[in-house]
Amino acid sequence: AFPQQVRIVEVGPRDGLQNEPGPIIPTETKVSLIDRLAAAGIPHIEAASFVSPKWVPQMGDAAAVMAGINRRSGVTYSALTPNVKGLEAAIAANVPEVAVFSAASEAFTQKNINCSIAESLERFRPLIEQAQHAGIRVRGYVSTVLGCPYQGEIDPAQVAAVSRELIDMGCYEVSLGDTIGTGTPLKAKKMLEVVSKEVSMDRLAAHFHDTYGQALANLYAVLEEGIAVIDSSTAGLGGCPYAKGASGNVATEDVLYLLQGLGIETGIDLQAVVNTGHWITRELGRHNGSKVALALGEC
């Protein structure tokens, strides 16, 4: 059965912008994007990434972004942290929630964070302990859950094992990433059936990319299974620097339209998100990846 309510986690300011080619996006543009999304009623915004600026130059101003935003009560602002160094920087920037990220594929983990899956999990253990000590919630990501750019097919049992490990270590939720967007609905459903035997459905989120145009169909499939948290990106911004060919995350506008049609509540003002998507794509000189945004236009 479909959930009555869905929580949207907006990842555009992080997943969307981290991969943007060309000049570094000004901090004030990032800040304005986050503030506009919060004003539209989005309850959770992944705002920045405390990773190595050599690896991901676009996220090098994470501390300035966190200092610049106008924090609204009721909105969760989170940031990616790959290691304790990132966590310490996030704590100094007063970030209330962080996210750690591993993958179901060895090859992808190696390219993305320069270590094995087992090493990545060992790296997260002290990070999660330290975060919990500081009263900071930790979300977990598992990438390449429906396919890997280097390894190809992914065994759902591997997704389940890594997800379970992240939950056992203290993550409150695990977000399942179809990083390269190769998944299809039946595959998504079958993967979720296996994972939800290890981690209960109310602690799982869907993080789907739209590279092959399947993201909405895949979301429909997992919503039907009971997923009630969806990661999405305004205007479909983004991709992943280490996932060849990955286009953006599913567009927030398109997800909101789908959910409206299903009668599922989000508390978000769709037109305000549409306007924000048109504004940011103009700022970046980029195509708007949301069909709903193109259909509704700016007003």
Residue 133 binds which of ligand HMG, Mg ion, none (CB < 5-8 A, kind-dependent): none
In the chain, the amino acid numbered 299 is C
Whether 171 is catalytic is no
Cα distance between residue 118 and residue 161, in whole Å? 11
Residue 198 binds which of Mg ion, ligand HMG, none (CB < 5-8 A, kind-dependent): none
Query: What's the token pair of residue 264?
Result: 């599922």
Nearer to ligand HMG, 156 or 296 (CB): 156
Cα distance between residue 235 and residue 248, in whole Å? 9
CB of 80 to ligand HMG, least distance (A): 6
Output the residue with the shortest Cβ distance to ligand HMG.
Answer: 177
Q: What is the CA radius of gyration of the chain?
A: 17
Which residues are at the interface with ligand HMG (CB under 6 A)?
15, 18, 49-52, 54-56, 80, 82-83, 85-86, 89, 101, 112-114, 141, 143, 177, 179, 207, 240-241
CB of 214 to Mg ion, least distance (A): 15
Specify the DSSP element, H or E, that contains 32: helix 27-39
Nearer to ligand HMG, 128 or 274 (CB): 128
Q: Where are the beta strands (DSSP E) in the chain?
A: 7-10, 44-49, 76-80, 97-103, 137-143, 173-178, 204-208, 229-232
Nearer to Mg ion, 15 or 198 (CB): 15
CB of 136 to Mg ion, least distance (A): 21
69, 70, 74, 76: CA torsion to nearest 10: 10
CB of 215 to Mg ion, least distance (A): 11
CB of 26 to ligand HMG, least distance (A): 20
Task: Report the 10 Å Cβ neighbour count for 67.
Answer: 12
Give 213: exposed, middle or buried? Use CB within 10 Å, 0-12, 13-18, 19+: exposed
Asked if residue 238 lies in contact with residue 207, where contact means CB atoms within 8 angstroms, the answer is: no
> 115, 148, 171, 240: which is the annotated catalytic residue?
240
Which residues are at the interface with Mg ion (CB under 5 A)?
15
Nearer to ligand HMG, 112 or 275 (CB): 112
Residue 98 binds which of ligand HMG, Mg ion, none (CB < 5-8 A, kind-dependent): none
Residue 85 binds which of Mg ion, ligand HMG, none (CB < 5-8 A, kind-dependent): ligand HMG
Nearer to ligand HMG, 89 or 274 (CB): 89
Nearest to 239 by CA among 27, 99, 56: 56
Residue 143 binds which of Mg ion, ligand HMG, none (CB < 5-8 A, kind-dependent): ligand HMG
- Residues with catalytic annotation? 240
